[in-house]
A and B are shown apart, each in its own frame.
Chain A
Amino acid sequence: MREGSHGSARLLVVDDNKVNRLLLSRNLELMGHRAIAAENGRVALEMLRREPFDLLLLDIEMPEMDGFQVLEQLAKDLQLRDLPVIVTSSLEGVDNVVRCIELGAEDYLTKPVNPGLLKARVGASLEKKRLRDLQKELVRRFATPEVAQDLQQSGFSLGGKRVRGTVMFSDIRDFTPLVESQPPEETIELINTYYTLMFNAISGQGGIVSHMAGDGLMAVFGAPLPLPDHCDAAVRAALDMIEMIELFNVEQKTADKPQIRIGIGIASGEMVAGYTGTNERATYTCIGDTVNVASRLEAHTKEAKRAILIDATTRQGLGAKVEVEALGPVTIRGKVQPVEVFAVKGA
Protein backbone atom coordinates (compact mmCIF):
# COMPACT_ATOMS: atom_id res chain seq x y z
CA MET A 1 0.00 0.00 0.00
CA ARG A 2 1.18 3.47 -0.82
CA GLU A 3 0.35 4.85 2.60
CA GLY A 4 2.60 2.39 4.33
CA SER A 5 0.38 1.53 7.26
CA HIS A 6 -1.51 -1.72 6.89
CA GLY A 7 -4.93 -1.52 5.27
CA SER A 8 -4.78 2.18 4.47
CA ALA A 9 -4.76 2.99 0.78
CA ARG A 10 -4.90 6.06 -1.44
CA LEU A 11 -8.05 6.04 -3.53
CA LEU A 12 -9.25 8.32 -6.26
CA VAL A 13 -12.98 9.00 -6.44
CA VAL A 14 -14.20 10.29 -9.79
CA ASP A 15 -17.74 11.62 -10.03
CA ASP A 16 -19.18 14.78 -11.55
CA ASN A 17 -21.89 14.86 -8.89
CA LYS A 18 -20.84 16.57 -5.67
CA VAL A 19 -23.20 14.64 -3.36
CA ASN A 20 -21.92 11.33 -4.75
CA ARG A 21 -18.31 12.45 -4.48
CA LEU A 22 -18.69 13.53 -0.85
CA LEU A 23 -20.59 10.43 0.20
CA LEU A 24 -18.21 7.96 -1.46
CA SER A 25 -15.18 9.75 -0.03
CA ARG A 26 -16.79 9.73 3.41
CA ASN A 27 -17.50 5.99 3.26
CA LEU A 28 -13.92 5.27 2.20
CA GLU A 29 -12.48 7.47 4.94
CA LEU A 30 -14.60 5.66 7.51
CA MET A 31 -12.90 2.46 6.30
CA GLY A 32 -9.53 4.03 7.10
CA HIS A 33 -8.54 4.93 3.55
CA ARG A 34 -7.50 8.23 2.10
CA ALA A 35 -9.90 9.46 -0.56
CA ILE A 36 -9.06 12.11 -3.11
CA ALA A 37 -11.74 13.36 -5.49
CA ALA A 38 -11.86 14.42 -9.13
CA GLU A 39 -14.90 15.84 -10.92
CA ASN A 40 -14.49 14.27 -14.34
CA GLY A 41 -12.47 11.74 -16.31
CA ARG A 42 -10.02 14.20 -17.78
CA VAL A 43 -9.05 15.62 -14.39
CA ALA A 44 -8.82 12.08 -12.99
CA LEU A 45 -6.40 10.94 -15.72
CA GLU A 46 -4.19 13.94 -15.11
CA MET A 47 -4.05 13.12 -11.40
CA LEU A 48 -3.38 9.43 -12.03
CA ARG A 49 -0.44 10.30 -14.28
CA ARG A 50 0.95 12.67 -11.67
CA GLU A 51 0.54 10.82 -8.37
CA PRO A 52 0.29 7.18 -7.33
CA PHE A 53 -3.08 5.67 -6.36
CA ASP A 54 -4.03 2.19 -5.20
CA LEU A 55 -7.56 2.10 -6.55
CA LEU A 56 -9.92 4.11 -8.73
CA LEU A 57 -13.65 4.48 -8.04
CA LEU A 58 -15.10 5.59 -11.32
CA ASP A 59 -18.45 7.05 -12.31
CA ILE A 60 -19.54 6.57 -15.92
CA GLU A 61 -21.83 9.50 -16.73
CA MET A 62 -19.57 12.54 -16.73
CA PRO A 63 -19.04 15.62 -18.89
CA GLU A 64 -15.74 16.21 -20.76
CA MET A 65 -14.53 12.62 -20.47
CA ASP A 66 -16.81 9.82 -19.35
CA GLY A 67 -15.94 6.63 -17.48
CA PHE A 68 -15.83 4.47 -20.61
CA GLN A 69 -13.21 6.77 -22.13
CA VAL A 70 -11.20 6.68 -18.88
CA LEU A 71 -11.22 2.86 -18.95
CA GLU A 72 -10.04 2.90 -22.58
CA GLN A 73 -7.21 5.31 -21.77
CA LEU A 74 -6.11 3.26 -18.75
CA ALA A 75 -5.95 0.05 -20.78
CA LYS A 76 -3.59 1.74 -23.25
CA ASP A 77 -1.32 3.16 -20.55
CA LEU A 78 1.51 0.83 -19.52
CA GLN A 79 1.95 2.56 -16.17
CA LEU A 80 -1.74 2.59 -15.32
CA ARG A 81 -3.21 -0.50 -16.92
CA ASP A 82 -2.86 -2.57 -13.74
CA LEU A 83 -4.62 -0.02 -11.56
CA PRO A 84 -7.78 -1.66 -10.23
CA VAL A 85 -11.00 0.17 -11.11
CA ILE A 86 -14.38 -0.21 -9.45
CA VAL A 87 -17.14 1.41 -11.44
CA THR A 88 -19.81 3.08 -9.32
CA SER A 89 -22.74 4.10 -11.43
CA SER A 90 -26.48 4.37 -11.56
CA LEU A 91 -26.54 3.75 -15.29
CA GLU A 92 -29.51 1.76 -16.47
CA GLY A 93 -29.06 -1.48 -18.37
CA VAL A 94 -26.86 -4.55 -17.99
CA ASP A 95 -25.15 -3.70 -21.30
CA ASN A 96 -23.30 -0.90 -19.58
CA VAL A 97 -22.06 -3.20 -16.81
CA VAL A 98 -20.84 -5.67 -19.43
CA ARG A 99 -19.08 -2.89 -21.33
CA CYS A 100 -17.27 -1.71 -18.17
CA ILE A 101 -16.05 -5.20 -17.33
CA GLU A 102 -14.96 -5.77 -20.93
CA LEU A 103 -13.00 -2.52 -20.84
CA GLY A 104 -11.09 -3.79 -17.82
CA ALA A 105 -13.05 -2.67 -14.75
CA GLU A 106 -12.56 -5.03 -11.86
CA ASP A 107 -16.00 -4.59 -10.41
CA TYR A 108 -19.27 -2.71 -10.76
CA LEU A 109 -21.33 -1.21 -7.95
CA THR A 110 -24.73 0.33 -8.44
CA LYS A 111 -25.36 3.72 -6.85
CA PRO A 112 -26.36 4.49 -4.21
CA VAL A 113 -23.53 2.27 -3.09
CA ASN A 114 -24.16 0.02 -0.11
CA PRO A 115 -21.32 0.76 2.36
CA GLY A 116 -20.95 -2.90 3.39
CA LEU A 117 -20.66 -4.01 -0.21
CA LEU A 118 -18.28 -1.15 -0.95
CA LYS A 119 -16.01 -2.19 1.89
CA ALA A 120 -15.91 -5.81 0.71
CA ARG A 121 -15.24 -4.90 -2.94
CA VAL A 122 -12.59 -2.30 -2.10
CA GLY A 123 -10.89 -4.75 0.26
CA ALA A 124 -10.88 -7.51 -2.36
CA SER A 125 -9.55 -5.21 -5.09
CA LEU A 126 -6.77 -3.86 -2.88
CA GLU A 127 -5.78 -7.38 -1.89
CA LYS A 128 -5.62 -8.42 -5.53
CA LYS A 129 -3.53 -5.34 -6.28
CA ARG A 130 -1.20 -6.17 -3.41
CA LEU A 131 -0.65 -9.66 -4.81
CA ARG A 132 -0.11 -8.28 -8.32
CA ASP A 133 2.43 -5.76 -6.98
CA LEU A 134 4.17 -8.57 -5.11
CA GLN A 135 4.29 -10.63 -8.28
CA LYS A 136 5.72 -7.74 -10.26
CA GLU A 137 8.30 -7.19 -7.54
CA LEU A 138 9.29 -10.87 -7.73
CA VAL A 139 9.62 -10.70 -11.52
CA ARG A 140 11.81 -7.64 -11.08
CA ARG A 141 14.00 -9.43 -8.56
CA PHE A 142 14.49 -12.60 -10.57
CA ALA A 143 14.55 -11.06 -14.00
CA THR A 144 16.15 -7.86 -15.16
CA PRO A 145 14.06 -4.67 -15.50
CA GLU A 146 14.32 -5.05 -19.28
CA VAL A 147 13.01 -8.62 -19.20
CA ALA A 148 10.30 -7.57 -16.74
CA GLN A 149 9.26 -4.80 -19.12
CA ASP A 150 9.33 -7.16 -22.09
CA LEU A 151 7.14 -9.61 -20.15
CA GLN A 152 4.71 -6.88 -19.20
CA GLN A 153 4.44 -5.57 -22.76
CA SER A 154 4.43 -8.75 -24.80
CA GLY A 155 3.39 -11.34 -22.24
CA PHE A 156 5.10 -14.68 -21.72
CA SER A 157 5.50 -17.26 -24.43
CA LEU A 158 8.19 -19.85 -24.96
CA GLY A 159 10.29 -19.39 -28.05
CA GLY A 160 12.48 -16.66 -29.39
CA LYS A 161 13.19 -14.18 -32.09
CA ARG A 162 16.32 -13.46 -34.10
CA VAL A 163 18.25 -10.43 -32.88
CA ARG A 164 21.68 -8.90 -33.46
CA GLY A 165 23.59 -8.33 -30.29
CA THR A 166 26.66 -9.01 -28.20
CA VAL A 167 27.13 -11.78 -25.65
CA MET A 168 29.55 -11.70 -22.76
CA PHE A 169 30.80 -14.48 -20.49
CA SER A 170 32.79 -13.77 -17.37
CA ASP A 171 34.12 -15.80 -14.47
CA ILE A 172 36.58 -15.72 -11.63
CA ARG A 173 40.01 -17.21 -12.34
CA ASP A 174 41.20 -20.03 -10.07
CA PHE A 175 38.01 -19.95 -8.08
CA THR A 176 38.14 -23.54 -6.78
CA PRO A 177 41.39 -23.17 -4.79
CA LEU A 178 40.01 -19.90 -3.43
CA VAL A 179 36.84 -21.62 -2.20
CA GLU A 180 38.88 -24.33 -0.53
CA SER A 181 41.11 -21.81 1.22
CA GLN A 182 38.41 -19.95 3.14
CA PRO A 183 35.18 -20.58 5.10
CA PRO A 184 32.04 -20.91 2.88
CA GLU A 185 30.43 -17.82 4.50
CA GLU A 186 33.29 -15.69 3.24
CA THR A 187 32.97 -17.20 -0.22
CA ILE A 188 29.27 -16.33 -0.34
CA GLU A 189 30.05 -12.78 0.72
CA LEU A 190 32.80 -12.55 -1.88
CA ILE A 191 30.51 -13.83 -4.64
CA ASN A 192 27.73 -11.46 -3.70
CA THR A 193 30.08 -8.49 -3.74
CA TYR A 194 31.48 -9.68 -7.05
CA TYR A 195 28.00 -10.00 -8.57
CA THR A 196 26.95 -6.58 -7.28
CA LEU A 197 29.96 -4.99 -8.95
CA MET A 198 29.49 -6.91 -12.21
CA PHE A 199 25.74 -6.17 -12.38
CA ASN A 200 26.42 -2.47 -11.93
CA ALA A 201 29.02 -2.43 -14.68
CA ILE A 202 26.83 -4.41 -17.10
CA SER A 203 23.54 -2.63 -16.52
CA GLY A 204 25.40 0.68 -16.52
CA GLN A 205 26.16 0.06 -20.19
CA GLY A 206 22.69 -1.20 -21.10
CA GLY A 207 23.37 -4.93 -20.84
CA ILE A 208 21.42 -7.54 -18.91
CA VAL A 209 22.76 -10.46 -16.90
CA SER A 210 20.83 -13.45 -18.15
CA HIS A 211 22.56 -16.25 -16.21
CA MET A 212 24.54 -16.74 -13.06
CA ALA A 213 26.19 -20.04 -12.20
CA GLY A 214 28.71 -20.37 -9.41
CA ASP A 215 31.28 -17.71 -10.12
CA GLY A 216 30.34 -17.23 -13.78
CA LEU A 217 27.80 -15.10 -15.56
CA MET A 218 26.42 -14.52 -19.00
CA ALA A 219 25.31 -11.07 -20.13
CA VAL A 220 23.52 -9.90 -23.27
CA PHE A 221 23.68 -6.51 -24.96
CA GLY A 222 20.94 -5.79 -27.51
CA ALA A 223 18.14 -8.03 -26.22
CA PRO A 224 15.33 -8.02 -25.19
CA LEU A 225 15.55 -4.32 -26.05
CA PRO A 226 17.66 -3.29 -29.07
CA LEU A 227 20.92 -1.47 -28.36
CA PRO A 228 22.49 0.28 -31.39
CA ASP A 229 26.11 0.19 -30.13
CA HIS A 230 26.01 -3.24 -28.51
CA CYS A 231 29.67 -4.04 -29.36
CA ASP A 232 30.99 -0.86 -27.76
CA ALA A 233 28.64 -1.18 -24.81
CA ALA A 234 29.85 -4.71 -24.04
CA VAL A 235 33.51 -3.78 -24.26
CA ARG A 236 32.98 -0.66 -22.13
CA ALA A 237 31.20 -2.84 -19.55
CA ALA A 238 34.10 -5.33 -19.62
CA LEU A 239 36.63 -2.54 -18.99
CA ASP A 240 34.45 -1.22 -16.14
CA MET A 241 34.30 -4.71 -14.68
CA ILE A 242 38.08 -5.05 -14.70
CA GLU A 243 38.44 -1.63 -13.11
CA MET A 244 35.94 -2.49 -10.39
CA ILE A 245 37.72 -5.74 -9.63
CA GLU A 246 40.99 -3.84 -9.27
CA LEU A 247 39.39 -1.44 -6.79
CA PHE A 248 37.83 -4.36 -4.98
CA ASN A 249 41.23 -6.04 -4.75
CA VAL A 250 42.72 -2.97 -3.09
CA GLU A 251 40.06 -3.27 -0.38
CA GLN A 252 40.58 -7.02 -0.08
CA LYS A 253 44.31 -6.53 0.31
CA THR A 254 43.79 -3.95 3.07
CA ALA A 255 41.46 -6.36 4.87
CA ASP A 256 43.99 -9.16 4.37
CA LYS A 257 41.51 -11.10 2.26
CA PRO A 258 42.04 -12.98 -1.00
CA GLN A 259 42.13 -11.03 -4.24
CA ILE A 260 40.42 -12.16 -7.43
CA ARG A 261 40.95 -11.98 -11.17
CA ILE A 262 38.36 -12.39 -13.87
CA GLY A 263 38.36 -13.45 -17.51
CA ILE A 264 35.87 -12.08 -20.04
CA GLY A 265 34.92 -13.40 -23.48
CA ILE A 266 32.82 -11.32 -25.90
CA ALA A 267 31.26 -12.23 -29.25
CA SER A 268 28.74 -10.48 -31.49
CA GLY A 269 26.34 -11.48 -34.22
CA GLU A 270 22.94 -12.95 -34.77
CA MET A 271 21.30 -15.04 -32.09
CA VAL A 272 17.91 -16.22 -31.00
CA ALA A 273 16.68 -14.49 -27.85
CA GLY A 274 13.64 -15.57 -25.90
CA TYR A 275 12.26 -17.71 -23.15
CA THR A 276 13.36 -21.31 -22.79
CA GLY A 277 12.24 -23.92 -20.32
CA THR A 278 8.69 -25.01 -19.68
CA ASN A 279 5.51 -23.03 -19.31
CA GLU A 280 5.91 -23.40 -15.55
CA ARG A 281 9.54 -22.48 -15.23
CA ALA A 282 11.44 -20.58 -17.85
CA THR A 283 14.37 -18.28 -18.23
CA TYR A 284 15.26 -15.50 -20.65
CA THR A 285 18.29 -16.45 -22.67
CA CYS A 286 20.10 -16.21 -25.99
CA ILE A 287 21.09 -19.18 -28.05
CA GLY A 288 23.31 -19.57 -31.11
CA ASP A 289 26.83 -19.74 -32.41
CA THR A 290 27.62 -16.26 -31.07
CA VAL A 291 26.91 -17.48 -27.53
CA ASN A 292 29.21 -20.50 -27.97
CA VAL A 293 32.03 -18.32 -29.30
CA ALA A 294 31.76 -15.91 -26.34
CA SER A 295 31.87 -18.81 -23.90
CA ARG A 296 34.92 -20.36 -25.59
CA LEU A 297 36.73 -17.02 -25.71
CA GLU A 298 36.16 -16.63 -21.98
CA ALA A 299 37.74 -20.05 -21.43
CA HIS A 300 40.61 -19.08 -23.74
CA THR A 301 41.56 -16.03 -21.59
CA LYS A 302 43.55 -18.41 -19.36
CA GLU A 303 45.77 -19.66 -22.17
CA ALA A 304 46.01 -16.26 -23.85
CA LYS A 305 46.82 -14.65 -20.47
CA ARG A 306 44.59 -11.69 -21.34
CA ALA A 307 41.60 -10.42 -19.33
CA ILE A 308 39.25 -9.52 -22.20
CA LEU A 309 39.02 -11.41 -25.49
CA ILE A 310 36.67 -10.47 -28.34
CA ASP A 311 35.83 -11.95 -31.74
CA ALA A 312 36.21 -10.29 -35.17
CA THR A 313 32.56 -9.18 -35.39
CA THR A 314 32.81 -7.32 -32.08
CA ARG A 315 36.11 -5.85 -33.23
CA GLN A 316 34.46 -4.50 -36.42
CA GLY A 317 31.63 -2.99 -34.43
CA LEU A 318 33.93 -1.05 -32.11
CA GLY A 319 34.53 2.68 -32.24
CA ALA A 320 38.02 3.98 -32.89
CA LYS A 321 38.65 4.75 -29.23
CA VAL A 322 39.15 1.14 -28.19
CA GLU A 323 42.62 -0.29 -28.74
CA VAL A 324 42.89 -3.96 -29.49
CA GLU A 325 45.70 -6.44 -30.11
CA ALA A 326 45.25 -9.13 -32.78
CA LEU A 327 46.12 -12.55 -31.37
CA GLY A 328 45.58 -14.38 -34.67
CA PRO A 329 43.33 -17.33 -35.42
CA VAL A 330 42.48 -19.72 -32.61
CA THR A 331 40.79 -23.09 -32.94
CA ILE A 332 37.96 -23.37 -30.49
CA ARG A 333 35.74 -26.29 -29.60
CA GLY A 334 32.58 -26.55 -31.65
CA LYS A 335 33.95 -24.48 -34.55
CA VAL A 336 35.43 -26.01 -37.70
CA GLN A 337 37.06 -22.76 -38.85
CA PRO A 338 39.56 -21.06 -36.53
CA VAL A 339 38.30 -17.83 -35.00
CA GLU A 340 40.17 -14.53 -35.20
CA VAL A 341 40.75 -13.39 -31.63
CA PHE A 342 41.53 -9.92 -30.32
CA ALA A 343 42.56 -8.82 -26.85
CA VAL A 344 41.23 -5.50 -25.57
CA LYS A 345 44.06 -3.26 -24.38
CA GLY A 346 43.84 -1.28 -21.18
CA ALA A 347 42.65 -4.31 -19.24
Chain B
Amino acid sequence: MAETIDRSVFEELKATAGADFVKDLVETFLVEAPVMMEDLRSSLAAGEAERFRRAAHSLKSNSNTFGAVNLAAMAKEIELGGLAPVRAAGGAPLDALEVEYTRVAKALMELKRA
Protein backbone atom coordinates (compact mmCIF):
# COMPACT_ATOMS: atom_id res chain seq x y z
CA MET B 1 0.00 0.00 0.00
CA ALA B 2 1.12 3.51 -0.79
CA GLU B 3 1.49 6.07 1.97
CA THR B 4 -1.74 7.52 3.39
CA ILE B 5 -1.18 10.98 1.92
CA ASP B 6 0.95 11.51 -1.17
CA ARG B 7 3.10 14.36 0.15
CA SER B 8 3.94 15.70 -3.31
CA VAL B 9 0.23 16.19 -4.08
CA PHE B 10 -0.34 17.89 -0.74
CA GLU B 11 2.68 20.19 -1.12
CA GLU B 12 1.61 21.10 -4.64
CA LEU B 13 -1.84 22.00 -3.33
CA LYS B 14 -0.29 24.25 -0.67
CA ALA B 15 1.98 25.89 -3.23
CA THR B 16 -0.82 26.75 -5.64
CA ALA B 17 -3.70 27.55 -3.28
CA GLY B 18 -1.76 28.92 -0.28
CA ALA B 19 -0.92 27.21 3.04
CA ASP B 20 -3.56 29.03 5.10
CA PHE B 21 -6.28 28.31 2.60
CA VAL B 22 -5.35 24.61 2.56
CA LYS B 23 -5.65 24.50 6.37
CA ASP B 24 -9.24 25.75 6.05
CA LEU B 25 -9.88 23.34 3.21
CA VAL B 26 -8.68 20.39 5.33
CA GLU B 27 -11.05 21.46 8.09
CA THR B 28 -13.93 21.58 5.62
CA PHE B 29 -13.03 18.11 4.38
CA LEU B 30 -12.93 16.74 7.95
CA VAL B 31 -16.46 18.04 8.44
CA GLU B 32 -17.79 16.92 5.05
CA ALA B 33 -16.20 13.46 4.74
CA PRO B 34 -18.03 11.91 7.74
CA VAL B 35 -21.28 13.13 6.13
CA MET B 36 -20.34 11.30 2.92
CA MET B 37 -19.53 8.16 4.94
CA GLU B 38 -22.91 8.40 6.61
CA ASP B 39 -24.50 8.92 3.19
CA LEU B 40 -22.88 5.70 1.98
CA ARG B 41 -24.20 3.78 5.00
CA SER B 42 -27.74 5.14 4.83
CA SER B 43 -28.11 4.82 1.04
CA LEU B 44 -26.82 1.23 1.28
CA ALA B 45 -29.44 0.48 3.92
CA ALA B 46 -32.18 2.17 1.89
CA GLY B 47 -31.04 0.56 -1.36
CA GLU B 48 -30.64 3.95 -3.06
CA ALA B 49 -28.03 3.08 -5.68
CA GLU B 50 -27.75 6.55 -7.19
CA ARG B 51 -27.17 8.34 -3.89
CA PHE B 52 -24.70 5.59 -2.92
CA ARG B 53 -22.69 6.04 -6.10
CA ARG B 54 -22.72 9.83 -5.80
CA ALA B 55 -21.39 9.75 -2.22
CA ALA B 56 -18.56 7.44 -3.28
CA HIS B 57 -17.83 9.71 -6.23
CA SER B 58 -17.64 12.79 -4.00
CA LEU B 59 -15.33 11.08 -1.52
CA LYS B 60 -13.06 9.91 -4.33
CA SER B 61 -12.89 13.41 -5.78
CA ASN B 62 -11.88 15.02 -2.46
CA SER B 63 -9.42 12.25 -1.59
CA ASN B 64 -7.63 12.93 -4.87
CA THR B 65 -7.45 16.63 -4.07
CA PHE B 66 -5.50 16.00 -0.85
CA GLY B 67 -3.41 13.14 -2.20
CA ALA B 68 -5.22 10.50 -0.13
CA VAL B 69 -4.40 7.91 -2.77
CA ASN B 70 -5.59 4.74 -0.99
CA LEU B 71 -8.86 6.28 0.11
CA ALA B 72 -9.40 7.58 -3.43
CA ALA B 73 -8.76 4.14 -4.94
CA MET B 74 -11.16 2.45 -2.53
CA ALA B 75 -13.87 5.06 -3.13
CA LYS B 76 -13.42 4.71 -6.88
CA GLU B 77 -13.86 0.97 -6.67
CA ILE B 78 -17.08 1.44 -4.73
CA GLU B 79 -18.28 4.11 -7.19
CA LEU B 80 -17.67 1.90 -10.21
CA GLY B 81 -18.92 -1.32 -8.61
CA GLY B 82 -22.08 0.25 -7.25
CA LEU B 83 -24.27 -0.84 -4.41
CA ALA B 84 -24.79 -4.56 -5.14
CA PRO B 85 -21.29 -5.97 -4.44
CA VAL B 86 -20.97 -3.93 -1.24
CA ARG B 87 -24.31 -5.26 -0.03
CA ALA B 88 -23.29 -8.81 -1.03
CA ALA B 89 -20.15 -8.39 1.07
CA GLY B 90 -22.27 -7.34 4.03
CA GLY B 91 -20.99 -3.77 3.90
CA ALA B 92 -17.37 -4.86 4.50
CA PRO B 93 -15.90 -2.46 1.90
CA LEU B 94 -17.44 0.44 3.84
CA ASP B 95 -15.78 -0.77 7.05
CA ALA B 96 -12.43 -0.84 5.25
CA LEU B 97 -13.13 2.60 3.82
CA GLU B 98 -13.82 3.94 7.29
CA VAL B 99 -10.55 2.52 8.65
CA GLU B 100 -8.62 4.20 5.84
CA TYR B 101 -10.50 7.46 6.34
CA THR B 102 -9.50 7.49 10.03
CA ARG B 103 -5.85 7.21 8.93
CA VAL B 104 -6.32 10.00 6.38
CA ALA B 105 -7.98 12.29 8.92
CA LYS B 106 -5.13 11.76 11.40
CA ALA B 107 -2.47 12.36 8.73
CA LEU B 108 -4.19 15.50 7.46
CA MET B 109 -4.47 16.94 10.96
CA GLU B 110 -0.76 16.38 11.48
CA LEU B 111 0.06 18.01 8.17
CA LYS B 112 -2.18 20.92 9.02
CA ARG B 113 -0.29 21.51 12.26
CA ALA B 114 3.11 21.18 10.61
Contacts and interface: CB of A to CB of B under 8 A. Distances in A.
A22 B61 contact: no
Interface string A77-97: 000000000000011100000
B65 A115 contact: no
Contacts of A20: 61-62, 65
Interface residues of A, number: 18
Interface string B30-74: 001000000000000000000100100110111011000000000
A63 interface: yes
Interface residues on B, range: 20 to 34
Contact of A63 (B24, B54, B60): B54
Interface in A7-24: 16-20, 22-23
Interface in B61-107: 61-62, 64-65, 76, 79-80
A18 B54 CA distance: 14
A162 interface: no
A22 B25 contact: yes
A149 interface: no
B17, B24, B51, B58 — most chain A CB neighbours (10 Å): B58
A61 B65 contact: no
Nearest to A118: B16
Given A90-B60, A112-B64, A115-B16, A22 B28 contact: yes
B32 A23 contact: no
B76 A61 contact: no
Nearest to A92: B80
Contact of A17 (B24, B62, B76): B62
Contacts of A178: none
B39 to A, nearest CB: 11
A61 B25 contact: no
Nearest to A91: B57
B76 A19 contact: no
A136 interface: no
B48 to A, nearest CB: 11
Contact of B79 (A23, A26, A30, A92): A92
A61 B17 contact: no
Given A22-B28, A23-B25, A61 B64 contact: no
A27 interface: yes
A61 B54 contact: yes
A16 B58 contact: yes
B16 A61 contact: no
Contacts of A261: none
A115 B76 CA distance: 23
A111 interface: yes
A111 B61 contact: yes
A18, A19, A23, A26 — most chain B CB neighbours (10 Å): A19
B61 A18 contact: no
A23 B17 contact: yes
A300 B89 CA distance: 94
A63 B62 CA distance: 17
A16 B32 CA distance: 11
A18 B57 CA distance: 13
B16, B29, B32, B80 — most chain A CB neighbours (10 Å): B16
B35 to A, nearest CB: 10
Nearest to B15: A115
Interface in B9-25: 16-18, 21, 24-25
B65 A23 contact: yes
A249 B25 CA distance: 70
Cβ-closest 4 pairs across A and B: A90-B61, A112-B65, A115-B16, A19-B62
Interface of B: 16-18, 21, 24-25, 28-29, 32, 51, 54, 57-58, 60-62, 64-65, 76, 79-80
Interface of A: 16-20, 22-23, 26-27, 30, 61, 63, 90-92, 111-112, 115
